[in-house]
Structure 1
Amino acid sequence: MKPVIAVVMLQVGSAGMDVISKVALNEGMSNYVFVVYRHAVATLLISPFALLLDRSAVPLFFLRTFSSIVFVVTRRPVINQNLYFLGMKYTTATFAAAIVNILPALTFLMAFIIGLEKVRMKSIHSKAKVFGTIATVAGAMVMTLIKGPAFEQDVAAGGGSSATVAESHSFMKGGLMMTVGCFSWAGFVILQAITLKEYPADLSLTALICLAGTIEGGIVALLVEWGRPEAWALGWDTKLLAAVYSGVVCSGLLFYIQGIVMRERGPVFVTAFNPLCMVLVAIMSSIFLDEEMFLGRVIGAAIIVAGLYLVVWGKSVDYDNSSATLQENQPLLEERV
């Protein structure tokens, strides 16, 4: 029962990050600056523990894997994070929580392309992974391209068709950004798993990724926000809360919790609870953000979840047989770092 409670806490914390981040972005926070601040907070939090617990491993492996670490950083903290939160500006927190469920399928697809994942079409589990991948990608396309009628029809329909078309184009743009970000995210997962084989100190690697993400993300933010010093300003407001919450809770506490659960129950167990985050975000967003639910996007989310569970079921055999170590060596919470 304890692992179940722990993984539910994990999803609650992740859902809180999506909602708080969306509020901060709605209040005008730069997504580029937000990425820098959250990784800076995570670096300050994780680094002392990494230096204390992984002290002997750092000098031995750092120089040999430095180029790999830099390459890993460009995929996740820089490309994915900026596209993810920029896409969130154009969409909703619920959409963001739903679209990330395509990650296991994209990771499987990329691992198959580069030869890290084997597919035997005579095996029902391999078929499940293939069809699950197709379903998640199809669901993402449905969510992005098809809006459908709103469930709450009592909202004023002002603005006319031109406003509706503009909103639709904006949503499609945000959805495309998030989808591309998820591809980058999947590449990060694979590269991180490979790097961990050469650099077997996951806490130190996480600290280095956050540090490098702060530096590289800072360069990007300086270029994009050049001449806008107000973009960096923080007060006692939601912007500060979003940066601290995402850095401390999602990159710190939840990372530790997920590591414990994964060692006890495996990555498949953790991944199976991911749709809970989407449900929690949908509930909280309707309360705090007044988000509407649309039929097309609900159908797309349902297709994504169905595809996710097909992939998870197919991968469960890999984990049980210890024949595929890609996800075993990857702390899945770093999807939220």
Structure 2
Amino acid sequence: MRSPSEGNRPWLAHIFFLFQRHACVCVLVTWCTLLRGGIARDRIESAIYMGSGGLLLPTVVMLALNVMSTVMVALVKVAMAGGLDPLVLVTLQQLAAAIFLCPIAHFIEGKSRPKMTLQIFAYLFVSAALGAAMRQYMVFVGLRYTTATFVSAFSNIAPMLTFVLAVATRSESLHLRAATGAAKLAGTLVSLAGAMLLTFYRGVALTHPNSAHQLHRSPSSPPSPGADSGRRWTLGTVAILGNCVCLACWYLLQGRITRKYPYVYSCNAFLSTFSFLQVVVVGLCVKHNLASWIITNKLQILTILYSGVVATGMSFVLLTWCIQKRGAVFVAAFVPVSQVIVCIMDFTVLHEPLYLGSVVGSVIVICGLYLLLWGKRQEALQQHPEGAKDDQEQQQQQQVQSQP
């Protein structure tokens, strides 16, 4: 019989293959967004922006974020199957993110950022609870009790919830008599129908994972969703729904924070620090056994470091930058992209079963989402018909100026 460490090696190989395959994209995106000024950034951004109306660089950033998220899902799924508790994972993850971001924020924005006001402090504290502490914990609980494909599919309702909350708070317009308004409303309703199907219809398993390839589980780890009761599956569904609500609220709140406190690195450093303090208080009250806080497994340590530094620290900075540049609805529209990657990974790497309800519901949700995105795009073109042309001319001028 293989030991748990030997059983983890194939999964590590698959995960590192995914990471190395897309490492160049992540490095390029991070370099473009972190550099402040200079001819290097002008040349890179001019090349990327050319002919895109200023949309290509945010699009590349969002695609890279989906790759980071997919790798984290694989690591977290395997680590929790080995006995890592979700609450411990969130706590140490936020600690790693805070340690990574605080020095960067200090050296880049330490001299330029203003003093913290009570209003900004309240915004950041609530944002930390919604976007990091509560949301991450709910994601990990959902992954524990369901499958990665189901979590990714159900998360597609986050853009719909973002749009509904944006309309309710009057940060997004909705004109039902116009074709764009009707498309946005229809897309929202279609996405809601797909989410209801995902919730109440599981269906038959379309794939049957090979038992020889199942993840090694510790005696204390939960069983797989296929052998679990409906109550545990429902609990995972509720957790993912809570994650979507928190994510939608965080998108809108973060958009407001970037307008009042436009310091991306400091904002996310405070966010990670506050979320760590929030989770560690709850964790120490719930987890009295100190042994659960001592991590010795190499895969679990890798999961904590990757999810904290890359999937949380870097991702939150890039997400905030995209929200600052293109708004919350644009960012939320890229949620379905990760589902394709996760579905392939779930079947080929994690060997989880794929259910009929997840497939049908996912198709409906994605159709509704891109109907909403089409309405949003057409509305933006009607309001700013010269915006894309002006952006392209500006980038052409920057390219000419950057040439030696």
Q: What is the TM-score when the length of structure 1 is the normalising length?
A: 0.83
* 2:303 aligned with 1:303: no
SS at match of 2:113: helix
Name the CA distance, whole Å, in 2 between partners of 1:131 and 1:20: 37
1:307-330 CA deviation, whole Å, 9 max, x = no partner?
Answer: 22122222224554469xxxxxxx
Alignment of structure 1 residues 178-327 onto 2, 5 Å: 178-226=240-288, 228-255=289-316, 272-317=333-378, 319-320=380-381, 321=383
Moved more, 94-103 or 310-319: 310-319
- Structure 2 gaps of 5+ residues are 1-46, 49-56, 212-224, 386-404
Name the CA distance, whole Å, in 1 between partners of 2:359 and 2:269: 37
The 1:66/1:154 distance shift into structure 2, 3 A limit, reads closer
Given that 2:65 and 2:315 are in contact with CA atoms closer than 8 Å, whether structure 1 keeps it comes out as yes
Equivalent position of 1:331 in the other structure: none
Alignment of structure 1 residues 76-87 onto 2, 5 Å: 76-87=131-142
1:174-226 CA deviation, whole Å, 9 max, x = no partner?
Answer: 11111022112211221222222221212211110110000001111112212
1:51-107 CA deviation, whole Å, 9 max, x = no partner?
Answer: 122224534344441122212222222222222211221111111222222211111
Alignment of structure 1 residues 8-157 onto 2, 5 Å: 8-152=63-207
Name the CA distance, whole Å, in 1 between partners of 2:313 and 2:367: 30
> How far is 1:264 from its partner?
8.0
Q: Identity percentage over the alignment?
A: 29
SS at match of 2:354: coil
SS at match of 1:121: coil
The 1:256/1:211 distance shift into structure 2, 3 A limit, reads closer
The 1:80/1:153 distance shift into structure 2, 3 A limit, reads closer
Name the CA distance, whole Å, in 1 between partners of 2:140 and 2:341: 19
1:15-36 CA deviation, whole Å, 9 max, x = no partner?
Answer: 1111111111221111111111
- Structure 1 gaps of 5+ residues are 157-162, 324-337
Given that 1:61 and 1:198 are in contact with CA atoms closer than 8 Å, whether structure 2 keeps it comes out as no
SS at match of 2:115: helix
> How far is 1:138 from its partner?
2.1
The 1:241/1:213 distance shift into structure 2, 3 A limit, reads same
Name the CA distance, whole Å, in 1 between partners of 2:328 and 2:274: 26
> How far is 1:275 from its partner?
2.5
Name the CA distance, whole Å, in 2 between partners of 1:54 and 1:102: 35
1:177 to 239, 248, 258: 239
The 1:148/1:241 distance shift into structure 2, 3 A limit, reads same
Given that 1:57 and 1:200 are in contact with CA atoms closer than 8 Å, whether structure 2 keeps it comes out as no
Name the CA distance, whole Å, in 1 between partners of 2:209 and 2:265: 50
Equivalent position of 2:42 in the other structure: none
The 1:106/1:273 distance shift into structure 2, 3 A limit, reads closer
> How far is 1:232 from its partner?
1.1
> How far is 1:270 from its partner?
5.7
Given that 1:144 and 1:297 are in contact with CA atoms closer than 8 Å, whether structure 2 keeps it comes out as no
- Matched residue count: 316
Equivalent position of 2:32 in the other structure: none
Given that 2:264 and 2:320 are in contact with CA atoms closer than 8 Å, whether structure 1 keeps it comes out as no
Given that 1:105 and 1:129 are in contact with CA atoms closer than 8 Å, whether structure 2 keeps it comes out as no
> How far is 1:262 from its partner?
7.3
Equivalent position of 2:6 in the other structure: none
SS at match of 1:58: coil
SS at match of 1:274: coil
Name the CA distance, whole Å, in 2 between partners of 1:195 and 1:270: 16
Q: Which amino acid aligns with 1:235?
A: T
